[in-house]
Structure formats: C-alpha cells, structure tokens
C-alpha cells in the first residue's frame, strides 16, 4: 500500500477505530458482567436473580463505588492515590472515638470527613508542590495513616449504635436504600463532570499532555491538588458508610480497599499513564467486583477465589485494551 493511501485510511478510520476500541472494551466489560450474572443465576437459581439480591449487591458496592468515582478522574489526570484504604481506616476510628465521648453524631461525621480531606490536602501538596511521585507519596501516607489508625484505636474494634448511622443503613426511598441512592448520585456527578464541564476536559488535557495543557493556560497545579482532596474526601465518606453498614469501627476496615479501588478503575479501562478513561467504565467494573463477591458468597466459595478470579480478569482486560490501542496506532 502506498504511503498516501495509508494516510487516507488512517484519517478516515481513526475515529471509528478509536471509538470501536473503547466501545469493544466497554462492551467487553459489560459482557463479562452479564456472563457472570448468568453463571451465578444458574449456580443459585432461587436467590441470585431477585430484586433483594440486586439491592444487596449495590449496597455492598457503595463504599467501593464512591471511592472509585473519585479515583477515576485522578488517574486520568496522571495521578494515583493508593492511600484511600488508610483514610477509610482513620475515619472510622475517629468516628468510633468521638461517638464514645457523646458528641453529636452529625458533628462527628463532619469532623471525620474534614480530617479525611486534610489528608488529601497533604497528599496533593506533596505530589504537586514538592514534586514527589504520586505512587510513592500515597504509599507513604497509606502506611503512615493506617499505622496511626491502629495506634489511635489500640487495634480495638468498637461497636456503634447510633440513630444517624442507623438512618443511613435502613432508610429507603421507594424501597431503594439511601446508600444506593448516594452511590448512584456520586457516580452520576462524576460522569457529568467528566463529560460536560471544563474541569473534566482539563483533567483529560493534563493527563494526556501536561506541557501542552500548561502552555494553553490550564492550571496544572490547583486542579490535580483538588483531585487528591476529592479522592480522600470520597474515602472519608466511604468510611462513614462502612461504619453504618457494619455497625462497628475498626482500623482493619480499610485494608481490603487498599488495591480494589485502583483495580476497579483500571479494569474499567482507565489508563494508568493518564489521559484516557471513563467513569462509565469504572461503574461497570465496580458492578463486576460486587457481583463477583456476592456470587462467591452464595456459592459458599472461599473469598480468596474471588481475588484470584479478579486478578486474571484485570490482566485480560488490560491486554485487550493494549492490543486494541496497538491496532489503532498502526
């Protein structure tokens, strides 16, 4: 093929190919989710496919969904935050401690969330202002704050009975729990910001080519800093959600979220290199993770099997993505 023809094919088809790539990726994920649902449906015919179970799955996905919605734009911008698990831990411990003093539960929630945000400010400051690699920074703060959570709580689990937290857990609107409404709202908001706003566009620009963004007058400091704050904020909110779901506060609560948040985002098609990704993909990936955990529980399989399955799915999904982007670049 001559060079000229080659060029024409590329310019004509590039858009279609790129769209096809992400479409295929998106549909591939959706297909994965549907296959999983069918599989579990036959494994557990009388229960899995019920409304109640669907709600259970969604409630189970609340904390992960909230954190992944905030992590997605952060990773698109070229950053990453692996400290969210420790923010969950420290938030729950603070909630437990403060409630024990008899403080108003609204105030407790407010304080816990503010502390979470402060950790985000710290992460953001170290990464953006001091220029430390984001992975290393948040690895450090993760270790620091999860240790602090253990010190503060002396490793104890405190059980919590409080009207506000019970309200969170039990209130339903049209038989849909308020927690589900919250996570759907958060995801919708993240999707809206990603697709419709200047901020969303700038996040892609910074992640795609930071220098080009800077030379186009986009603030390449304030926006990333804000994303770290939002990520920690989401973890603090997730902490409060978990306290109400479990009725207890423990420094161990966050450990399971150490990597599952980042996993959900990557599985959803967001590139760790930045510049590419979507909240919609993340939402499906969160659905996959939650369904997997629900299905495994019903089949009474060991929960370790879940992480094995997830690991395999993650690598396959990323391979599919890389192959399609190679095709695209040819």
Partner 1 sequence: MQLSSISKRYGGVQALSDVSIHVNAGEILCLVGENGAGKSTLAAVAAGLVAPDSGKIFVDGEEVVLNSPRAAEIAGIRLASQELQLCPELDVMTNVLLGHYPHKKLPFLVDYASMKQKAAERLASLGLEDIDLHQNVGEMPVVYRAFVQIARSLTPGAKVLITDEPTAPMSDIEATRLLKLLKTICDQGVGIVFVSHRLDEVLNIADRVVVLRDGKLVDEMNKNEGNKERIVSSMLGHASVDGVRAGSTTNENSEVAMKVENLSTANGIFDTNLTLKFGEILGVYGIAGSGRDSLGMTLFGSNKPTSGKIIVGGNELKLGSIKSTMDIGIGYVPAERRAQGLLLERSIKENITLAFLRKLSKLGLIQKKSESASGQLWADNLSIKTKNIENAVLSLSGGNQQKVLLSRWLLTGCRILILDDPTRGVDIGSKLEIYELLQKLAHKEKVAVLVISSDIEEVLKISDRIEVMRNGKITLSKTNPTQQEVARAAYLEEAS
Residues that bind partner 1 (CB under 8 A): 3, 7, 10-12, 14-15, 18, 196-199, 201-202, 204-205, 208-209, 211-219, 275-276
**In whole angstroms, how close is the CB of 8 to partner 1 at the nearest point?**
10
Which of 34, 189 has the CB closer to partner 1? 189
Which of 158, 320 has the CB closer to partner 1? 320
d(CA 54, CA 193): 27
Token pair 């189970």 in the structure block, residue: 60
d(CA 235, CA 250): 15
Q: Which two tokens stand for residue 87?
A: 């923010």
d(CA 253, CA 81): 17
**In whole angstroms, how close is the CB of 216 to partner 1 at the nearest point?**
4
- Burial label for 290, CB within 10 Å (0-12, 13-18, 19+), is buried
Which of 224, 254 has the CB closer to partner 1? 224
**In whole angstroms, how close is the CB of 208 to partner 1 at the nearest point?**
4
Q: Which two tokens stand for residue 137?
A: 């920074």
**In whole angstroms, how close is the CB of 54 to partner 1 at the nearest point?**
33
**In whole angstroms, how close is the CB of 211 to partner 1 at the nearest point?**
5
d(CA 277, CA 271): 6
Which of 14, 110 has the CB closer to partner 1? 14
Which of 25, 276 has the CB closer to partner 1? 276
Q: Are 43 and 299 in contact (CB under 8 A)?
A: yes
């Amino acid at each position: 093929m001559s060079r000229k023809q080659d060029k024409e094919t590329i310019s004509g088809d590039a858009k279609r190919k790129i769209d096809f790539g992400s479409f295929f990726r998106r549909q591939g994920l959706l297909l994965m989710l549907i296959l999983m649902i069918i599989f579990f449906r036959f494994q557990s015919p009388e229960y899995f496919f019920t409304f109640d179970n669907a709600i259970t799955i969604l409630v189970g996905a609340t904390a992960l969904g909230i954190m992944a919605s905030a992590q997605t734009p952060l990773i698109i911008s070229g950053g990453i935050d692996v400290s969210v698990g420790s923010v969950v831990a420290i938030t729950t411990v603070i909630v437990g401690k403060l409630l024990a003093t008899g403080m108003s539960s609204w105030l407790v929630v407010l304080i816990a969330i503010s502390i979470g945000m402060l950790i985000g400010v710290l992460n953001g400051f170290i990464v953006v202002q001091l220029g430390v690699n984001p992975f290393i920074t948040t690895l450090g703060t993760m270790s620091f704050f999860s240790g602090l959570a253990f010190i503060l709580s002396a490793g104890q689990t405190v059980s919590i009975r409080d009207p506000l937290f019970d309200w969170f857990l039990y209130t339903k609107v049209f038989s849909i729990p308020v927690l589900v409404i919250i996570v759907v709202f958060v995801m919708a908001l993240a999707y809206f910001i990603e697709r419709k706003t200047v901020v969303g566009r700038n996040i892609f620009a910074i992640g795609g080519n930071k220098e080009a963004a800077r030379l186009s007058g986009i603030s390449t400091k304030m926006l990333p800093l804000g994303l770290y704050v939002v990520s920690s904020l989401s973890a603090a909110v997730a902490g409060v959600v978990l306290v109400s779901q479990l009725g207890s506060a423990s420094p161990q609560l966050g450990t399971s979220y150490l990597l599952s948040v980042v996993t959900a985002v990557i599985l959803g098609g967001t590139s760790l290199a930045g510049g590419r990704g979507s909240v919609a993909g993340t939402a499906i990936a969160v659905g996959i993770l939650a369904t997997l955990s629900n299905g495994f529980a019903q089949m009474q399989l060991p929960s370790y099997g879940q992480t094995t399955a997830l690991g395999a799915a993650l690598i396959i999904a990323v391979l599919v993505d890389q192959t399609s982007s190679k095709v695209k670049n040819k």
